[in-house]
Amino acid sequence: MNAVIDKSAEKVAYENNKLHKRLCRLVGQAIGDFNMIEEGDKVMVCLSGGKDSYALLDILLTLRERAPIHFDIVAVNLDQKQPNFPADVLPRYLTDLGVPFHIENQDTYSIVTRLIPEGKTTCSLCSRLRRGILYRVADELGCNKIALGHHRDDILETFFLNMFFGGKLKGMPAKLVSDDGKHMVIRPLAYVKEEDTERYAAVKGFPIIPCDLCGSQENLQRKQIKAMLRDWEKKTPGRVESVFSALSTVVPSHLMDRNLFGFTDLKTDGVANPLGDIAFDEEPCSTPATVPGIIPLQPK
């Protein structure tokens, strides 16, 4: 009996270790691919008390120990004075961890509830207020980078939200200059799946603070997109990964944005493209070989 228990405990430990390694590898890869952190940076890690931001801080601390460069980390939580916010949880966690931290107390909850009629979604004003405060705090703490805990699934959901409801091909950037032009905002979890941060939070036993204390409902459209992606992945495993990889493999000449590609000035140069084009842009039933004067594209 003991041998069986030992075996399963060993397996759990092995899987947990694999998960930690995967998170470190993916975060390290995103940091490298987008040059997110450089020598001498002071990174403000925004900690909401949710699973993703805990995972972000934890993995960044591990990577910092192994990194060939020196950078500083300061954890920052914005206490928005939502009812029942357990204000003692994060200070205790961060003190035990030995990480420099700052808790910014700003009652955005009252502002939002005063300005937004009851029953309407408050997230957009709340996020705008939070963003402004975080930029100011980054300035005061001397942080040049602001790290946020958005992961691969947040990026994908945003991409589909923009496409379905905003008519734009636009995701969530892994790295961008803040609205005030002074800081670099980075998303080191950009390659990490949400299910991995979920599992990691459970493994590490992070003291999670629920995100619905303000009483606001999660955006219904985002909920629908999340369900759609989950359903796709169930029916066609690998599809979500393929869509995500498409975000880094953009072919402007095969889209319709005239600002991205110079369609109007496009000229023929008489030089054949040696690779041809193997994209999915042909009619499945076309038979170009039978059309006189047309040289069919040769598959690679």
Name the residue type at position 22: R
For residues 126 and 143, which CB has a smaller minimum distance to ligand SF4 in the complex? 126
- Minimum CB separation from ligand SF4 for residue 129, in Å? 8
123 contributes a contact to ligand SF4 by CB under 6 A: yes
Is 285 one of the annotated binding-site residues?
no
User: What residues have CB less than 8 Å from 16, skipping those under 6 apart?
Assistant: 203
- Minimum CB separation from ligand SF4 for residue 195, in Å? 21
126 contributes a contact to ligand SF4 by CB under 6 A: yes
Q: How far is CA 80 from CA 88, 222, 256, in A?
A: 14, 23, 43
146 contributes a contact to ligand SF4 by CB under 6 A: no
From 184, 214, 229, 240, residue interacting with ligand SF4 (rule: CB under 6 A)? 214
209 contributes a contact to ligand SF4 by CB under 6 A: no
Is 24 one of the annotated binding-site residues?
no
> Phi and psi (nearest 5°) for 45?
-95, 115
30 contributes a contact to ligand SF4 by CB under 6 A: no
- Minimum CB separation from ligand SF4 for residue 153, in Å? 17
**DSSP letters spanning 242-280:** HHHHHTT---GGGS--TTTS-STT----S---TT---SS
Containing 102, the helix (H) or strand (E) segment is strand 101-105
- Minimum CB separation from ligand SF4 for residue 125, in Å? 8
216 contributes a contact to ligand SF4 by CB under 6 A: yes
Is 214 one of the annotated binding-site residues?
yes
144 contributes a contact to ligand SF4 by CB under 6 A: no
**Dihedral sign, Cα of residue 261, residue 181, residue 56, residue 216:** negative
Opening angle at CA 262, ends 258 and 266, nearest 5: 130
For residues 80 and 197, which CB has a smaller minimum distance to ligand SF4 in the complex? 80
Residues in the chain: 300
- Minimum CB separation from ligand SF4 for residue 215, in Å? 7
SS3 readout for 193-221: CHHHHHHHHHHHCCCCCCCCCCCCCCCHH
Binding-site ranges for ligand SF4 (CB under 6 A):
122-123, 126-127, 211, 214, 216
Binding site residue list? 123, 126, 214
